Structure 1
């Protein structure tokens, strides 16, 4: 039980730290906006520096593909359009439960506006009980929890494209996913694992491209620093931004790095969303940026571009494949329909919220799931079916 009297005694110090951080953040935001404006006058010089030295940077910086100071107003969405979205949830495997298995549940939503049709709402559960499948991740040195998370990401994307195929929208449409399209954590995976995860995803995205339906990864409360990191080139005091030579900073394995703070870190810990919050008005969006994350080397024609949209209540990060970013019509369609969803949802896309509600596994759902599983185990001849003593005791706690 949480002792709120003791917690309250610590809150004053927390409040002071928050106030100090807010003041420092405003100062760094103002400085970053000054540098952004200055760099815009010679952006090609900084692009070339990024291309020449970016591979050695100890940080990840995105590359602008439009003017740094470009601000566009969101175009109005057509009255008739369709939104398709998925989100996922899971029951993780536990040795304390009656059986070692996991469940992935994907909620799917298709809403046709201006058509007078009922929305399509359903969920797709996938139960994995096969011992060989459960043990595969151990052979690769991966925790089962990580493998489950990667499988869930893949299932959300494949379910979204399957939904597009069944709905076959003839209206302007957008396919929304909650979260990033840049699978940062997959870069260090063994090649065979990465290929198994990515190959079906990229094939599914190709189907969206053939149907000219833009795909958007919607990232709320993004913690990315990719565009702010590009501004570090504008404050680097050296003619050549060789981080290893001048500052002892490197991303190369086997090379030592100093702990001294490089002069280009004047913006830390400013995040991209705070930068663009100071530059964009509501219903405006930023220029496009090409992400340079290493995992994107495996994406082929689906490399990811990013932009920031001020939806009113927050600045959100939008991620789209290259074939959307390079097509002005698809890009505007993606922005306008996403912004319309934010407005309809009063700060968060309606379709993504509904997909989450369909996917989420609540406590009562979990109990029914294990009750069904217990019944099947008993039918199969397993008479002693019960959670571990530890799990049983936790459920019976008097606290």
Structure 2
């Protein structure tokens, strides 16, 4: 039990710390606006510098594909359109339960506007209990709980593609604009540290699902709320580098990243800087991410992003290259996304509903294991039950 009286004594120090951070951020923010003004005429020069010195940088830099002062008002969504979304949740395996297995539940949402059609709101559960599901990741040093999360990412992409593509098949038969959405980033950082055999079981099926969406011309995006990314801000660091060439390995290798001389506007995030430039309903410039892991995605699935003032926050919108390079699909996707945020009172309603369909609550977990226990007893298994530790925790008198 948390002792609130003892905790209260620690709160004033925390609030003073954050107050000092906010004051410093305001000063950095003013400086960032000055830098943005100065580098607009040197944007191409900095892009070329990055191309030359990319391998010598110790930080990741996104490359703008539009002028840095781009502020484009997003059009309203079309009257008739459809939105597809998925999200996932899981029950982690535990040796204290009646069976060592895990469950992934993927929420599916299909909403139609201006078409007089019924929506789809449901979920698809998958249970993994075979040894090849539970222990295959051990050979690569990956815990089962982590592997479960990776498998969930795959299922979300596969279910989304299947649902959306089945709706528009045969190709060209359905002409109303569409949008497929997932919650979170499309840049899967965790892949970078995985053994190549493990990575080959995760990334190819995701890319295959994206290719299905591409063939059906259904624009696809990842909606990132409260983004902490600094990829775009790092482009400004190329300008603030005091050396003729941004060779971090030669000049700053012995320094911590926060002590690097180019960190004159640290710790600002992209959303903070572009939040000062964008009005509600506007997007900033498109950026091409240069993270190394994206080299595995292929050119057409390479990730681009932009920041959008959705009214309640500055959201990071990530899209594959084939959407970013098609102005019609891009405009369609952003318009529908903004409409979803409006309908969801600050967050896309399709994503919120996908989460609600996917989420596994305490009662759901109890019912799942109760059903499993009944079936195990029915087939004649003996001594079925939770561990004494788990039983004691559930029956605590404290």
Secondary structure class of the residue paired with 2:10: helix
How far apart are the structure 1 equivalents of 2:371 and 2:217?
A: 42
2:146 alignment counterpart: 146
Secondary structure class of the residue paired with 1:155: helix
Shift of 1:223: 1.1
Cα deviation 1:370-389 (Å, max 9, x = unaligned): 00111122123222111111
Alignment length (residue pairs): 391
User: Are the equivalent residues in 2 in contact too, given 1:123–1:358 (CA < 8 A)?
Assistant: yes
1:251 alignment counterpart: none
How far apart are the structure 2 equivalents of 1:96 and 1:46?
A: 56
Cα deviation 1:197-250 (Å, max 9, x = unaligned): 1111111111111111110000001111100111101111111010111112xx
How far apart are the structure 2 equivalents of 1:125 and 1:39?
A: 51
Query: Is 1:347 aligned to residue 346 of structure 2?
Result: yes
How far apart are the structure 2 equivalents of 1:165 and 1:258?
A: 50
1:232 alignment counterpart: 237
Shift of 1:258: 3.2
Structure 1 vs Structure 2 CA RMSD: 1.1
Structure 1-normalised TM-score? Answer: 0.96
How far apart are the structure 2 equivalents of 1:342 and 1:37?
A: 31
Query: Is 1:121 aligned to residue 121 of structure 2?
Result: yes
User: Are the equivalent residues in 1 in contact too, given 2:323–2:329 (CA < 8 A)?
Assistant: yes
1:179 alignment counterpart: 184
2:58 alignment counterpart: 58
Cα deviation 1:132-174 (Å, max 9, x = unaligned): 2211010111111111111001100100001112322531011
How far apart are the structure 1 equivalents of 2:18 and 2:241?
A: 29
1:99 alignment counterpart: 99
Question: Where do 5+ consecutive residues of structure 2 fail to align?
Answer: 169-173
Which moved further from structure 2: 187-196 or 366-375? 187-196
How far apart are the structure 2 equivalents of 1:186 and 1:330?
A: 28
1:397 alignment counterpart: 396
1:269 alignment counterpart: 267
Q: Per the alignment, do residues 23 and 258 of structure 1 end up closer, same or farther by CA in structure 2, a change over 3 Å counting?
A: closer
1:1-399 pair list within 5 angstroms: 1-168=1-168, 169-248=174-253, 257-259=254-256, 261-300=259-298, 301-399=300-398
User: Are the equivalent residues in 2 in contact too, given 1:184–1:293 (CA < 8 A)?
Assistant: no
How far apart are the structure 2 equivalents of 1:94 and 1:170?
A: 48
Shift of 1:112: 0.6
Secondary structure class of the residue paired with 1:263: coil
How far apart are the structure 1 equivalents of 2:223 and 2:372?
A: 35
How far apart are the structure 2 equivalents of 1:136 and 1:167?
A: 35
User: Are the equivalent residues in 2 in contact too, given 1:311–1:339 (CA < 8 A)?
Assistant: yes
How far apart are the structure 2 equivalents of 1:280 and 1:6?
A: 43
Question: Where do 5+ consecutive residues of structure 1 fail to align?
Answer: 249-256
User: Are the equivalent residues in 1 in contact too, given 2:165–2:216 (CA < 8 A)?
Assistant: no
User: Are the equivalent residues in 1 in contact too, given 2:137–2:198 (CA < 8 A)?
Assistant: no
Structure 2-normalised TM-score? Answer: 0.96
Which moved further from structure 2: 33-42 or 228-237? 33-42
